[in-house]
Chain A
Amino acid sequence: MSKKLRAVIIGPGNIGTDLLMKMQRSDWIEPVWMVGIDPESEGLKRAESMGIKTSSTGIDGMLDQVIADDIRVAFDATSAYVHAENSRKLNELGVIMVDLTPAAIGPFCVPPVNLKQHASQLEMNVNMVTCGGQATIPMVAAVSQVQDVEYGEIVATVSSRSIGPGTRQNIDEFTRTTAGAVEAVGGADRGKAIIIVNPAEPPLMMRDTIHCLTKETPDQDAITASVKNMVKEVQKYVPGYKLVNGPIFDGNKVSVFMEVEGLGDFLPKYAGNLDIMTAAGLRTAEMFAEEAHNGTITLPARG
C-alpha cells in the first residue's frame, strides 16, 4: 500500500488549481479528484487534462466513489457558505477535511504553531484561517512563545489582482477570522487584523506587518532568536517567506516586517498571499499522512 493519502480538491479556481500543481510534487498526498459546479470551468478542464477525475456537480458527483477510490483527505477551496455541508458529507465517510474557506467550523491550523497537535489528535476538520493569518500568526506566536503578549495586531497588504470576489464581498470575515486566530493560535490576549488592497502595477508582493505589545519589557535577544527560527519553520513550506526588517523594539512594542513571495505555480509570484494558503493547506494534509504512516494516528476504519 502506498504511503500517500488520496485527495479530492473542491473548487477548481485559482486556489484549487495552485493546490493541485503543488500536490503533484508531494511525497505524501496524491490528487485524485477535482470537483466544481460549472461544467465549462477552465479549472476542471485543466484538471482533466492532467489526468484527474472531475465532477461538475459538486462533491455529490463523487461521494459514491470515495470508498472505491480510497479518498482520505479533502481540500475545500470554495466558500464559507457551502463548506459546512461539504465537510459533513465527507467527514461521515471518514475523509479528513482541510478547510481553506473562512467558514472555520473546525479549529484553526497554522502549521508551524499547532499542526502537530491537530494531526496527533486526528482532527477531522481543520481550518487554514486566512492568507493574512498564515503569513502573520507564526510571528505573533514567535513572540508569545517567549513572553506574554497582551495585544497582537497584523496588517496584511495584498495586490488587488490577488484577491477574488469572495473575499471582496465579505472583507469583514477576513478581519474577524484573522483577529480571532491572532488570539487563539498566536497567543495574544487581544488581536486585531487590518487588510489593505493595493492596485499598483506591476502588482506588489504580499507584505505583512506584525506588531505585538508584550506585558513586560521585551527580552530582545530571545524574541529576535524566536522570530528568526520561526521564519525558517515557515520557509520549509513557503520558501519565499522573508523577514524584511525587524524585529524592532519600541518600549513594549515589537514590530516585524515581512514579505511573502509565492512559488509561482499557477498563481503569479506576487500572490504570496494565495501561495501561503495552498502551501499551508498541503503541508497540513502531509502531516496527517506522515503521522498515519508512522502509526501515531489511525485513519477512520473502512469496511
Chain B
Amino acid sequence: MDLTGKKVTLHDMSLRDGMHAKQHQLSLEQMVAISTGLDEAGIPLIEVTHGDGLGGASLNYGFPAHTDEEYLNAVVPKMKNAKISALLLPGIGTVDHLKMARDCGVNTIRVATHCTEADVSEQHIGMAAKMEMDTVGFLMMAHMVSPEKVLEQAKLMESYGANCIYCTDSAGYMLPDEVTEKIGLLRSELNANTEIGFHGHHNMGMAIANSLAAMDAGANRIDGSVAGLGAGAGNTPLEVFVAVLDRMQANHGVDLYKIMDVAEDLVVPLMDQPIRVDRDALTLGYAGVYSSFLLFAQRAEAKYGIQARDILVELGRRGTVGGQEDMIEDLALTMAKDKGLI
C-alpha cells in the first residue's frame, strides 16, 4: 500500500466517543487539558459532546458531569488551531441543539443516522449547511448493509447538503476488504468535492488496518482517539496511527511525540478501566453490536447474573441498532426470568 504524501485530516474522538468509556463523566478541566494537548500536537479537529451526541444527556444513556454547552464553552475558546466538532443523532438531539453548538463556536456538525435511515437527517443537515458549517453525514453500523445501500444513503445526505460522508464501523465488525469496498464505492460515485471519512472501532483489533484501507480507497478524514479512549475496545488509537502514517510518509501534520505524551500523561491515567479487546469488547465486534453497549451489558451482568457476552450476542441476533441501550436491561431481565434467576 502506498500512502506516500497522501493528505489526511485526523479527527479526535476521545472527548466524545471517549465519554462512553467514562460514562460521560469527564470534567471540564480534563476536557480542556486533553483538547489543548491535542491542539498543541497538531490535531486539526476534535469532537466534544456527550457520547451520544448533542442532547444525549438522559437516564437512558447517562447524565453527563456537565452539559454540552458547558463542555463546548470550556474547550472552544482554548483552541489555537484546532476546530471543534459536535455529533448529533436525529431522534435524540434537535436543531435547537445544533444552533446552540454553532453559537458556542463549533465548526463541524456531524449528523449521524443508522446506515439505512439517512432520510431522518434532512432537517439537521439542511440547517447546518444553511449556516455554512462544515456538515458531515455519518452513516452508523455500516457493516449491516451492502456497499450499494451505503452509497444510496450517502447520496441522500449529500443531497441534503453534507460536504463529507462517513462510513462508520460502529461495531468494530469490518475487516479491511469490506472497508476498501465501501469507501471505494463512495469515492467513485459521490461528488468529487465531497469528502469521505472513516470511523473505526478496535473490537476485532482491526482499527489501524481498516483506517489504512480507508485512506487507500479514498477517505481523507479518519477518526481516531488518543490512547484509543472510546466505546468498546476504543477507537483507532491516534498516537499509534500517527506513528504508522509517519512510517508510510503520509501527510498527517501531527507531532508524534506530543500526541504520545497526551495519550500517556493525560488520557491513560483517567481511564476507569483498561480500553482493550477483552472478551466482551471482542464479542461486540464478532457479533456486530454497537460499541457503546459494552458497559451497559457488563452492568446488566453484575445485576442480573446473565453473561454480558450472551446479552450482546442476542442483541446482535435481533438486529439492534445504535441508541437502543434500553434494550439491554429489558433483555437481561427477560433472560434472567427465563433462567429462573429472578
Residues of chain A whose beta carbon lies under 8 Å from any beta carbon of chain B: 151, 153, 155, 157, 160, 165, 168-172, 174-176, 192, 194-201, 204, 207, 209, 211, 213, 244-246, 248, 253, 255, 257
B321 within 8 A of A: yes
- Structural contact, B94 and A211, CB atoms closer than 8 A: no
Closest beta carbon of chain B to A231's beta carbon, Å: 16
- Structural contact, B114 and A199, CB atoms closer than 8 A: yes
Contact bitstring B53-69, A, C-beta under 8 A = 1, else 0: 00000111000000000
B302-324 interface (Cβ within 8 A of A): 318-321, 323-324
CA distance A253 to B95 in the complex (A): 29
CA distance A257 to B329 in the complex (A): 9
Most chain A CB atoms below 10 A, which of B60, B91, B122: B91
| Residue of B122, B324, B330 touching A198 (CB-CB under 8 A) | B324
Most chain B CB atoms below 10 A, which of A174, A176, A197: A197
| Residue of B95, B323, B324 touching A172 (CB-CB under 8 A) | B95
- Structural contact, B59 and A195, CB atoms closer than 8 A: no
> Which residues of chain A have C-beta atoms less than 8 A from B324's C-beta?
157, 196, 198
> Which residues of chain B have C-beta atoms less than 8 A from A209's C-beta?
60, 326, 330
Residue of A nearest to B127 (CB): A172
CA distance A200 to B319 in the complex (A): 5
- Structural contact, B319 and A175, CB atoms closer than 8 A: no
Known: A175-B91, A198-B320. 9 other contacts (CB 8 A): A153-B59, A153-B60, A169-B122, A170-B123, A175-B94, A194-B58, A194-B323, A199-B117, A204-B318
> Given the known A-B contacts A213-B59, A257-B326, are A196 and B321 also in contact in the complex, defined by CB atoms under 8 Å?
yes
B120 within 8 A of A: yes
Closest beta carbon of chain A to B272's beta carbon, Å: 20
CA distance A26 to B195 in the complex (A): 56
- Structural contact, B60 and A155, CB atoms closer than 8 A: yes
Residue of A nearest to B96 (CB): A172
Q: What are 23 A-B pairs at a CB distance below 8 A?
A: A151-B59, A157-B324, A157-B326, A160-B117, A171-B90, A171-B91, A172-B96, A175-B94, A176-B94, A194-B92, A196-B324, A197-B321, A198-B320, A198-B321, A199-B114, A201-B319, A204-B319, A209-B60, A209-B330, A211-B60, A244-B334, A255-B329, A257-B326
Residue of B nearest to A175 (CB): B94
> Given the known A-B contacts A197-B91, A200-B319, A213-B59, are A244 and B117 also in contact in the complex, defined by CB atoms under 8 Å?
no
Closest beta carbon of chain A to B115's beta carbon, Å: 9
B333 within 8 A of A: yes
Residue of B nearest to A211 (CB): B59
Provide the main secondary structure of the chain A interface.
strand
CA distance A199 to B327 in the complex (A): 15
> Given the known A-B contacts A160-B117, A198-B320, A248-B333, are A172 and B90 also in contact in the complex, defined by CB atoms under 8 Å?
yes
Closest beta carbon of chain B to A170's beta carbon, Å: 6
B119 within 8 A of A: yes
7 A-B pairs with least C-beta separation? A200-B319, A209-B326, A172-B94, A211-B59, A245-B333, A257-B330, A195-B91
B116 within 8 A of A: yes
> Which residues of chain A have C-beta atoms less than 8 A from B90's C-beta?
171-172
Contact bitstring B126-154, A, C-beta under 8 A = 1, else 0: 00000000000000000000000000000
Residue of B nearest to A199 (CB): B116
| Residue of B60, B119, B321, B333 touching A168 (CB-CB under 8 A) | B119
- Structural contact, A160 and B123, CB atoms closer than 8 A: no
CA distance A211 to B119 in the complex (A): 28
Closest beta carbon of chain B to A140's beta carbon, Å: 13
Closest beta carbon of chain A to B336's beta carbon, Å: 10
Residue of A nearest to B126 (CB): A169
| Residue of A165, A169, A198, A244 touching B123 (CB-CB under 8 A) | A169
Closest beta carbon of chain A to B292's beta carbon, Å: 13
CA distance A81 to B166 in the complex (A): 33
Closest beta carbon of chain A to B316's beta carbon, Å: 11
- Structural contact, A165 and B60, CB atoms closer than 8 A: no
- Structural contact, A257 and B58, CB atoms closer than 8 A: no
| Residue of A196, A253, A257 touching B323 (CB-CB under 8 A) | A196
> Which residues of chain B have C-beta atoms less than 8 A from A201's C-beta?
319
> Which residues of chain A have C-beta atoms less than 8 A from B326's C-beta?
155, 157, 209, 257
- Structural contact, B59 and A253, CB atoms closer than 8 A: yes
CA distance A27 to B116 in the complex (A): 42
- Structural contact, B123 and A171, CB atoms closer than 8 A: yes
Closest beta carbon of chain A to B300's beta carbon, Å: 12
> Which residues of chain A have C-beta atoms less than 8 A from B122's C-beta?
168-169
> Which residues of chain A have C-beta atoms less than 8 A from B59's C-beta?
151, 153, 211, 213, 253, 255
Residue of A nearest to B323 (CB): A196
CA distance A195 to B89 in the complex (A): 10
B70-106 interface (Cβ within 8 A of A): 90-92, 94-96
Residue of A nearest to B303 (CB): A250
Closest beta carbon of chain A to B194's beta carbon, Å: 22
Closest beta carbon of chain A to B252's beta carbon, Å: 36
CA distance A168 to B329 in the complex (A): 28
> Which residues of chain B have C-beta atoms less than 8 A from A211's C-beta?
59-60
CA distance A66 to B119 in the complex (A): 38
> Which residues of chain A have C-beta atoms less than 8 A from B323's C-beta?
194, 196
Most chain B CB atoms below 10 A, which of A168, A172, A255: A172
> Given the known A-B contacts A198-B319, A200-B319, are A245 and B114 also in contact in the complex, defined by CB atoms under 8 Å?
no
Closest beta carbon of chain A to B108's beta carbon, Å: 20
> Which residues of chain B have C-beta atoms less than 8 A from A157's C-beta?
324, 326-327
> Which residues of chain A have C-beta atoms less than 8 A from B94's C-beta?
172, 175-176
CA distance A253 to B334 in the complex (A): 19
> Which residues of chain B have C-beta atoms less than 8 A from A255's C-beta?
59, 329
- Structural contact, A197 and B117, CB atoms closer than 8 A: yes
Closest beta carbon of chain A to B155's beta carbon, Å: 16
> Which residues of chain A have C-beta atoms less than 8 A from B319's C-beta?
198-201, 204
